[in-house]
Amino acid sequence: MSHPLNPITDYFLELDALKLVNRRSYITGGERVENSAEHSWHLAMACWSISRSLKLNLSEEKLLKLALVHDLGEIDAGDTFLYSSNRDSAHTAERKCVKRLNHHEGNGIAELTELWEEQETGDSLEAKLLKAVDRLLPFLLNINNEGRTWRELGVKCSQVVKAHAFIKNDFPELHLWMHSKIQMAVNAGWLVDE
């Protein structure tokens, strides 16, 4: 016999699949890489904290919602490494997944697709902060793990500089801190300075 909660709990299991999507960054003090669900939680907490630390005038509710939905498309598409050459095609597969989740019978979040699109293409302060912190966290894990992912995958200094350049316009203090860490990573041999 069907129960009214079945579609909702089925939807929760669909979302649970984000835990199966492995990323490339190693967790702090660990020998394994983080998964996208862990990253989404970390991103939400980091965005919330940094928005208050920087005293930004934004909607915390919107910011947290954007952080929670930002990687949902990876359930079907998988994670695309920041320094990969096929990043553009990944967005199409992610968008298709989010639309599928949005139409799921158990989804109670009417604005799911709208929120995902905002974090993907929006230019609100919330979306800008999310994008900056989304780059900061794997960067921080690399610094904490002596550039392990960078070293294993042969990431070059120029790739890191280019991937984080956009942060300078909106969050110059964050960009300056990251730039100093990039120089430290080059000096330590974690990043190749070609």
pLDDT, residue 84, reads: 81
DSSP of 20-50, one letter per residue?
G-EEEEEPTT-SSEEEHHHHHHHHHHHHHHH
pLDDT, residue 2, reads: 86
Q: Are 113 and 183 in contact (CB under 8 A)?
A: no
Q: What is the pTM of this model?
A: 0.94
Delimit the domains of the chain by residue range: 6-188
pLDDT, residue 87, reads: 66
Residues 32-35: contacts with CB under 8 Å, at least 24 apart? 34/141
CATH superfamily of the domain spanning 6-188: Hypothetical protein af1432 (1.10.3210.10)
pLDDT in tens, 82-133: 888 776 777 899 999 999 999 999 999 999 999 999 999 999 999 999 999 9
Residue-averaged pLDDT of the chain: 94
d(CA 39, CA 35): 6
pLDDT, residue 194, reads: 76
Residue range 67-92: mean pLDDT, rounded: 88
pLDDT, residue 85, reads: 73
